[in-house]
Amino acid sequence: MSALGQIFALIWRDQQLALLRGAALGVLVLLAGIGLLGVSGWFITASAAAGLAGTGAVFDVFRPSAMVRFLALGRTAARYGERLMTHDATLRALAGLRVRLLRATAALPYDQVVRLRGSQVLNRLTADVDALDGVPLRLILPLGSGLLAQALTFAVVWALVGLTVALWLVIGFVGGAGVTLLWAGRQALVPSRRAEMAAQAFRSRFIDLVQTRSDLAVYGQIAVQTQAVLAADARRQADRRTLDRIERRAGLALSILGTVMASGALGLGMYLASRGDLVPADAAAGFFAALALMETVAPLRRAVADVGRMGLAARRVNGTLAATPASATGQTGAGTGLQAVNLGFQRRGAAHPVLTGLNFAVLPGQTLALAGPSGSGKSTVLLMAAGLLQPTGGHIRLGSLDLADWAEDSLRNHLVLVPQRAALMAGSIRQALTLAAPAAADADLWDVLTVMALDGVVRSKGGLDFALGPQGTGLSGGEARRLVLARALLRKPLVLLLDEPSEGLDDATAARVLTGIRRFLPEAAILTASHRRGELDWADRVLNLS
């Protein structure tokens, strides 16, 4: 199945009933439009013929006029219902798709996640999902409705007008429109993809310009970054102009096709009427039906102009969803410490392993510090202990179970990792802390801030409602580090993994923080990657990885 087909299958499974109803209404819209013009043409011609024949006094004008009004009002109501149902269903399905993509991205292996840039990922995800709204709304549903309307019109025209006119209409419209739209789609494929990539580059560079404007100003690079933003936008606009030209040419070709088809239907009708095979009113019905059939093909030109953009987005979305690992269905065990048995790790493609044959155990209430030079594998051990990296040798046990056997939710309730670069989001200090413990009272928040020697800092800034900027702006590096540690302590884990917990702190503050961690979590098993003497002295045992 093609990438676009897979996306439509996802949307269809999520909103099948609403899309089915919308598609049925879409067919009714097209049939009502065709019927409206056909009946109107027949009515006008038959009225004129009756007048010329002197039978106008007995000509029935009420039923045809009632049918015209019914079709006109019905078409309006069906159009409203079709737009309401299909758009609502598509937006609901895409909202669910966004959630699935976010979950899939969050579930990627750690070595892939660390290479992602948040703004670029969010920009790409948003743009891709936005591009996919055209799959059901402008491509699949209009195409399916148009083909069905063409088939039904063929049957009706065959019955009322004749096989010759019916074949002329269906072959001409389906064949001619198919060739035109295929040509336009092939012409638009490359510029449509380029326009989408340029649009995403523009957004990413503009976000970088805004977020890093202070650093860019310091290094005198604001003008350079501004030019990069403008260059991406210029490429996007150039490709959009190319697409606009292709769409207009396709529209012109379809208009010419409609004129040819209507003229041919009129000519065939006149020929058949001159032979006595048709009455003039029926010939006019075929002509006006040909005019109305343009509505089945004209809207598709916009879809084929964007097919490259939609296809690019669909392939990326399908790739992200396909790369999602299976959901964990592990067990819930009892946490009574952490143990590594013959642990080893080697990165893919590396000539030598990072770790081999590592053994250690950390029991409740104990602190084990991993020491060694940079690159010796301290942070790698913590990531494996947190279940974010899979060992290439040996295994890790948490309590009574191997780490791989734990259910994800239960594992995160027992174990917390504070990496070197933990994130803080924009919001109040209260929000930053309650992210880890939503039910925590203000008294609990002040207790943990006191333990982390942050209570005085927070009070000086106005209390728990002090608003942090993006990435914790408003706090110094050491203050932000302590706030991240306070958030981890609020989880009250049975196993706490710390990567250089006192980094950025002076010796006195570091000693107070380390003492506070153990006092706040007296029964926790703590594994820390350390290089400072104070952290090594704080630990009960030190394991050197050099």
Residues 312 and 351 placed together within one structural domain of the fold: no
Q: Collapsing DSSP states into helix, strand and coil, what is residue 368? A: strand
In the predicted model, is pLDDT for residue 218 greater than 60? yes
Three-state DSSP at 92 gives helix
Which has the minimum average pLDDT: 35-44, 221-230, 449-458, 534-543? 35-44
Q: Is residue 291 part of a domain?
A: yes
Is residue 57 domain-shared with residue 200, that is, in the same domain? yes
Determine the structural domain holding residue 265 and report its residue range.
3-322
Please report the pLDDT score of residue 53 as a whole number: 58
Q: What pLDDT is attached to residue 426?
A: 84
Q: Are residues 206 and 343 in the same domain?
A: no
Please state, in angstroms and rounded to a whole number, the distance separating the CA atoms of residues 9 and 11. 5
pLDDT band at 55 (very low <50, low <70, confident <90, very high): low
> Residue 106 burial by CB count (10 A; 0-12/13-18/19+): exposed, middle or buried?
exposed
Q: Are residues 226 and 375 in the same domain?
A: no
Residues 387 and 525 in one domain: yes
148-162, 238-252, 379-393, range with greatest mean pLDDT: 238-252
Task: List, in order, residues 6 or more apart from 317 with CB less than 8 Å away.
Answer: 7, 97, 101, 128, 129, 132
How confident is residue 59, by pLDDT bands cut at 50, 70 and 90?
low
Q: What is the pLDDT of residues 82-103, one digit of tens each?
A: 999 999 999 999 988 888 888 8
Residue 329 located in a structural domain:
no
Q: Are residues 243 and 361 in the same domain?
A: no
Q: Is residue 331 part of a domain?
A: no
In a domain, 214, yes or no: yes
Percent with pLDDT over 90 in the chain: 21
The type of residue at 249 is: R
Of 192-196, 229-233, 419-423, give the lowest mean pLDDT range. Answer: 419-423
For 378, the token pair is: 């301290």
In Å, the largest CA–CA distance within the chain is 115
To the nearest 10°, the Cα dihedral for 200, 201, 202, 206?
Answer: 110
- Whether residues 291 and 412 share a domain: the answer is no
Structure-token pair, residue 215: 């650093």
Same domain, 367 and 223: no
Strands 367-371 and 355-362 come out as unpaired
Structural domain contains residue 216: yes
Residue 527, helix vs strand vs coil: strand
**Which structure tokens are listed for 454?**
């942050």
pLDDT tier, 234 (very low <50, low <70, confident <90, very high otherwise): very high
Mark whether 353 and 289 lie in a shared domain.
no
The rounded distance, in Å, linking the Cα atoms of 311 and 316 is 9
What's the average model confidence in pLDDT over 469-474?
80
Q: Are residues 306 and 375 in the same domain?
A: no
Q: How does DSSP classify residue 228?
A: H
Query: Of 322, 350, 370, which residue sits at a domain end?
Result: 322
pLDDT of 256? 93
Domain final position from 263, 297, 322: 322
| Structural domain total, the chain | 2
CA neighbours within 13 Å on the CB side: how many for 172? 24
The pTM for the full model equals: 0.72
- Residue 513 dihedral angles phi and psi, to the nearest 5°: -65, -45
In tens, the pLDDT along 481-492 reads 889 999 999 988
Over the chain, what is the mean pLDDT?
85
Looking at residue 128, its pLDDT comes to 85
Asked if residue 333 belongs to a domain, the reply is no
> Does residue 263 sit in the same domain as residue 410?
no
Token readout for 194 is 């380029």
How many residues in total does the chain contain?
A: 546
What is the number of other CB atoms lying within 10 angstroms of the CB of residue 365?
14
| Segment 306-361, tens digit of pLDDT | 888 888 888 888 888 886 555 445 555 555 688 888 988 888 777 788 888 889 99
Whole-angstrom distance, CA of residue 330 vs CA of residue 409: 9
Domain boundary among 322, 355, 387: 322
CATH code for position 318: 1.20.1560.10
Confidence of residue 517 (pLDDT cuts 50, 70, 90): very high
| Position 268 in a domain | yes
* Rg, Å, the chain Cα set: 34
Residue 161's pLDDT band (cuts 50, 70, 90) = confident
* Predicted confidence (pLDDT) per residue in 254-281, tens digit: 999 999 998 998 888 888 888 877 777 7
Residue 451 belongs to domain with CATH number? 3.40.50.300
pLDDT greater than 70 at residue 36: yes
For residue 330, the model assigns a pLDDT of 56
314-315-321-325 Cα dihedral, nearest 10 degrees? 180
* 239, 292: one domain: yes
Q: Measured between alpha carbons, how far is 108 from 388 in angstroms, rounded to an integer?
A: 10
36 residue type, one letter: L
The pLDDT tens digits for 242-252 are: 999 999 999 99
Res. 238 pLDDT band, cuts 50 70 90: very high
Position 379 confidence tier, pLDDT thresholds 50, 70, 90: confident
